[in-house]
Amino acid sequence: MSRSLRASLSKLRATGRLAGSSLSAAQRKALEAFARQTGAVASQPSGRGIVYRVVEAAVVEQHWRNLAPVDAASLDTTLPIRSANIAQARGSKSARHGHDVHYLLLKAAGRVIWQDSNGHCLDLQQATQQQGAAVLAIHKDPHRDQGWQANEPLWLVENQALFDRLDWLPDESPQAIAYYGGHVRKNLIDWLAAKPRATSIRFFPDYDGVGLHNYARIKSRLGDSVSLWMMPDWESCLSHYGNNQLWQKTTLDFNAAIELLAPVLAAEPEVQRLINAMQSQGLALEQEAVWLGGRGTPSP
């Protein structure tokens, strides 16, 4: 309610009069409740609509300052987004609150070197051996892109177990592995699409609606440079270890993924087979099943 009232009062304070048609249903409801409780705002018919006007400006201003302690125009423009939100609405998540930087965790399997446009080098193998992983800062602002790239394939994996243990990788050639966790951030997709970051990108998510929707999103931006990796014996794993609850939980994402992937499925018959199998069986498969498909169970 406070967010809707804040939005309606912000519009009303500008001129002291406001057409009801300029408000959303929630904002009108909040403003009408405020008018009844305080008497500081009145309404009157106007044509086929209604107009709100300020009756008690001091009361409106008092309530406005309670909702919005600081005006946006007076804020330091260098403040972090969430700090500005607190100043304007007493809550860090009251408006757009995404962070400007995403930190991408990377590991190496074999000798992998990343270089930026200034000639700086990141020995990913050494960082993995010494520190366990390395990190790159992915900025929303494309002008802050340092141009990092490598001459090896890049894997994107959804769950930490696949990042912690790399014995599931299908071959021993040098490659980088990145952990994205859950939903792929738009920052990361934008960064990958800005320039070639690796010789190829292998996308390995959970085989569920969220995972396929993430693949559809990244595929729509990166095209043939990205491919969905199919784990060994995935059909058998899906039948034996598939999860109906996970399938049901992510069905909306699954349907959205099919719509996005429709233009490319003819060229990706294995992905189409996976989609058909998931639909017919009503099952989803988590990617940790990779250790169960013809490789035995993982050791403790």
Span 76-105, mean pLDDT? 64
Statement: residue 73 has pLDDT above 70:
no
Domain range for 140 is 101-292
Statement: residue 300 has pLDDT above 50:
no
Q: Write down which residue in 21, 49, 67 finishes a domain.
A: 67
| Spatial CB neighbours of 110, under 8 Å, sequence gap ≥ 6 | 125, 152, 172, 173, 174, 175
Same domain, 173 and 226: yes
pLDDT, tens digit, 9 for 90 and up, residues 10-48: 788 778 888 888 888 888 888 888 888 888 888 888 878
Model confidence at 97, pLDDT cuts 50, 70, 90, reads very low
**Positive or negative: CA dihedral 187, 193, 198, 203:** positive
Same domain, 18 and 145: no
Whether residue 37 lies inside any domain: the answer is yes
Same domain, 9 and 157: no
Span 161-176, mean pLDDT? 95
Q: Return the CATH number at 46.
A: 1.10.10
In terms of pTM, does the model score above 0.85? no
Categorise residue 208: left if φ over 0, alpha if ψ from -120 to 50, beta otherwise. beta
To the nearest whole percent, how much of the chain has pLDDT over 70? 87
Same domain, 34 and 176: no
Q: What angle do CA 170, 176, 178 make, to 5 degrees?
A: 100
Number of structural domains (the chain) is: 2
Q: Report the pLDDT value the prediction gives residue 76, as an integer from 0 to 100.
A: 61
To the nearest whole percent, how much of the chain has pLDDT over 90? 58
pLDDT, tens digit, 9 for 90 and up, residues 106-154: 999 999 999 999 999 999 999 999 999 999 999 888 778 889 999 999 9
